[in-house]
Amino acid sequence: MVGVPLWWRTTETYRAWLPVNQINELAELQVCLCYRSMAHWTRYVHPVLGYQAGCHLRILNEILARDHSGDDTLSVLHVEADLSLHTLSASPCGSVVVYVIPETSVLLPQGVDVYIGHRRTAVLRMGAPMSVGKNHKQLLAHLEPRITQVVQVMSFSHTDITAALSDRVRLSPGSKESLADSMRSFKSSPGYEITFSLLNPDPKSHRLDWDIEGAVHSYIQPLLTKLAPLANFSIDSQILYYAMLGVNPRFDSSLEAYTLNADSLAHVINPVEARLGSNAASSNPVLNFLLYVPDAHHSPLYIHDHQKQPVASNAFHSPRWGGIMVYNVNDLYGRGETPLPVNININMEKVMGVFLAQLRLMLGVQSSPAPPGFLVEPCGGAGLADWELDRLMWSRTVENVATATTTITSLAQLLDQIGNIVINDNIASQVSSTVTSLQLAVAELEAGNLGFALQYSKEAILASERAFFDPSLLHLLYFPDDQKFAIYIPLFLPMCVPILLSLIKIASEARQRRKLKQSKKD
């Protein structure tokens, strides 16, 4: 009797208290959250329209009046309007302001109903059958479908959520193509490592020089500065010599060139990747961009698509891994008079154009095709419009929240299932901080404060990962039952013998007594 509590005390594993109920709540809350925030959004846009439209229309008219000097300036008018509207009302991160202009306005070119600029504003031309006299509600009702369209383009749409959650929740079994789209971009992470590698399989015949530092500074850095609130990016580059592709390109005599087919591209990366090396100093996902300069005997080398047509950029990308570009230099050799190796300077503008496009794809800055009648300003020097950034932030926040929630729920499940796992205080605190951050993130998301929501969701994801991968969880995990048996059997087996014997005795006595009773009755 004394031994039992002692034994109980010494053999129990320490398990700190976890907010299991809250975690379970979170797991259920998640799905409805997405829709709620969506609905919230459309509501948010309406008042903007209702209250601000009036005054801003006046400003627009002023701009129009001021600049209405000649027809040739018309085409640039909407750009200027975009800029001045932005300066007038610095819209907060994550919001979209829609300006409605009269049907007859010359601000937008003919045939364009909606104009979306670099910032968080859109200009919407009022539909044809609208007359001014109608009341407010009708006006809103009339504009509603168009505004929804605008919001879908500029803010996040259903497909974005699908993409963001594709790993976690299977929302709708979409087409194969949309699935590929959704799986192309990298998963959300607090940081990314971008590595540019120049592959030189033949240093004997050409010596390559690339001004990667300058190129990164002028092409990649502006985009990354823009994306800074989203994640930390670090860039490095290397040159790999004697790095071969995994497949032998076929010689096409009609083109007098070597070709790589689309279906063989899948095998190109493997042998190269062994040389790329992972980043030893961080555990963030790595985006690889390879520039392959084929050796003299295998050039020029062209990539062909499925229709056997050469790809214009001579580049391809691999989802969630990076991109490869083939850069032919055989026309730079000169005609035999220069001794090998030939010094070759790589035209970084050409290369970086391709890599920048691939980087946008990998980061998930994908522009869904605009509906007819929409004029979307092409991205400028920064490589990213404000509303594109917002879109990205929306989907990343949702994805972070989803990831953190799944991590924390699966951790809770795991701890629930395996009783041997020790839960230390630091894990408990990590878990509870995850839960608080998640709740805050959801609250901020509902309130439309995108920046804070993203911040909290990042914190949540960090804390949840730390809790999930804490090594102390594994300490007693391998403590199989047979070892317990091995320890307890030497004690309990001999102890059981007299007990069992006496039980048998009791049973036989009872049986005898019953027999005796029966015989007495008889």
Query: Residue numbers of the site for another protein (CB under 8 A)?
Result: 195, 203-204, 207, 212-213, 234-239, 241-242, 275, 277-282, 339, 341, 486-487, 490-491, 493-495, 497-499, 502
Q: Which is nearer to another protein, 282 or 345 (CB)?
A: 282
Q: Which is nearer to another protein, 92 or 203 (CB)?
A: 203
Q: Which is nearer to another protein, 54 or 203 (CB)?
A: 203
- Reading the block at residue 315, the tokens are 């580049």
Report the nearest approach of another protein to the CB of residue 346 (Å).
13
Pairwise CA distance, residues 84 & 87, whole Å: 5
8 Å CB contact between 180 and 320: no
Report the nearest approach of another protein to the CB of residue 66 (Å).
48
Q: Identify the helix (H) or strand (E) that includes residue 146.
A: helix 136-154
Report the nearest approach of another protein to the CB of residue 189 (Å).
18
Alpha-carbon torsion 104, 108, 113, 119, what sign? negative
Report the nearest approach of another protein to the CB of residue 193 (Å).
9
Phi, psi of 200 (to 5 degrees): -120, 95
Helix (H, G, I), strand (E, B) or coil at 352: helix
Q: Which is nearer to another protein, 277 or 419 (CB)?
A: 277
Helix (H, G, I), strand (E, B) or coil at 63: helix
Pairwise CA distance, residues 464 & 443, whole Å: 18
Pairwise CA distance, residues 184 & 320, whole Å: 6
Report the nearest approach of another protein to the CB of residue 192 (Å).
14
Q: Identify the helix (H) or strand (E) that includes residue 408.
A: helix 386-417
Report the nearest approach of another protein to the CB of residue 387 (Å).
31
Establish whether the linkage from the previous residue to 201 is cis, with ω within 30° of 0. Answer: no
Report the nearest approach of another protein to the CB of residue 338 (Å).
11
Q: How far apart are the first and last CA of the chain?
A: 46
Residue listed under structure tokens 């609250």: 443
Q: Which is nearer to another protein, 24 or 282 (CB)?
A: 282
8 Å CB contact between 114 and 373: yes
| 114-116 and 121-125 beta bridge pairing | antiparallel
CA triplet 101, 107, 112: central angle to 5 degrees?
85
8 Å CB contact between 457 and 400: yes
Q: Which is nearer to another protein, 94 or 294 (CB)?
A: 294
8 Å CB contact between 401 and 460: yes
If phi > 0 it is left, if psi is from -120 to 50 it is alpha, else beta; for residue 489 that is alpha
Residues 6+ apart with CB under 8 A from 377: 79, 82, 115, 116, 117, 118, 385
Report the nearest approach of another protein to the CB of residue 354 (Å).
19
Residues 6+ apart with CB under 8 A from 395: 156, 160, 161, 163, 164, 364
Report the nearest approach of another protein to the CB of residue 496 (Å).
9
Report the nearest approach of another protein to the CB of residue 491 (Å).
4
Report the nearest approach of another protein to the CB of residue 333 (Å).
16
Q: Which is nearer to another protein, 286 or 460 (CB)?
A: 286
Give the torsion through C-alpha atoms of 25, 27, 33, 34, to 10 deg.
Answer: 180
Q: Which is nearer to another protein, 338 or 420 (CB)?
A: 338
Report the nearest approach of another protein to the CB of residue 502 (Å).
6
Nearest Cα residue to 128 out of 145, 104, 148: 104
Residue listed under structure tokens 């192309």: 184
8 Å CB contact between 243 and 295: no
